Chain A
Amino acid sequence: DTEVTQTPKHLVMGMTNKKSLKCEQHMGHRAMYWYKQKAKKPPELMFVYSYEKLSINESVPSRFSPECPNSSLLNLHLHALQPEDSALYLCASSQDDPGNTIYFGEGSWLTVV
């Protein structure tokens, strides 16, 4: 089972709203990731959690706030977003060793209005 589950699949939010994206994996992976993908562009790394601790933050604006409540769950809290933040947000997970396969979920489509 190589499944990473993301909810919701689609989200529309206003610029003053607070919402969250959720991600879950049951593969025993200890590294979890958030990527952002704009249309016709490659995925861009936002955050990496390793053993439930934030290990990489690619200079992401503070209106995006990640959280890793336990080794199976990863959240991305959204607040005061801008229309240009509209994108596909991808969660991924892997074992925490370099070179290990990184598995992606189907993504959450976010539209900011």
Chain B
Amino acid sequence: EDQVTQSPEALRLQEGESSSLNCSYTVSGLRGLFWYRQDPGKGPEFLFTLYSAGEEKEKERLKATLTKKESFLHITAPKPEDSATYLCAPQRGANNLFFGTGTRLTVIP
């Protein structure tokens, strides 16, 4: 059975305090691993897609990495505007994203 688990559920960081979010997955026929950011009351905003183990992608203060069973979203020197829920979503089969429950990040000034 396909599973995706994100940890921690919630994370509070001081501004500038770096940390990592974890996404553990068991998905058959993985086509890609997506990361999204979602602000309250808004639709998910695309961040990254990772396709193969060892791949890394960066965008501003965010870096995503992928292994065969996990993906990490590293946040370096976060700012209050990075506060959001971060969603991991493995893609199984064609056109089928399977979302984790997310990590709710709060960055305190």
User: Which residues of A are in contact with B by a Cβ distance under 8 Å?
Assistant: 2, 4, 31, 33, 41-45, 48, 50, 55-56, 88, 90, 92, 94, 96, 98-99, 101-107, 109
Contact = CB atoms under 8 A, between A and B. Distances in A.
Contacts of A92: 43
Given A42-B87, A42-B101, A43-B44, A94 B95 contact: yes
Interface string B37-80: 00001111110010100000000000000000000000000000
Given A31-B95, A43-B44, A104-B43, A99 B31 contact: yes
A98 B31 contact: yes
Q: Is the interface of B mostly helix, strand, loop or mixed?
A: loop
A45 B42 CA distance: 17
A4 B43 CA distance: 10
A106 B42 contact: yes
Contacts of A48: 95-96
Contacts of B100: 42
Contact of A107 (B42, B91, B101): B42
B43 A106 contact: yes
Interface in B78-109: 87, 91, 93-102
A98 B101 contact: no
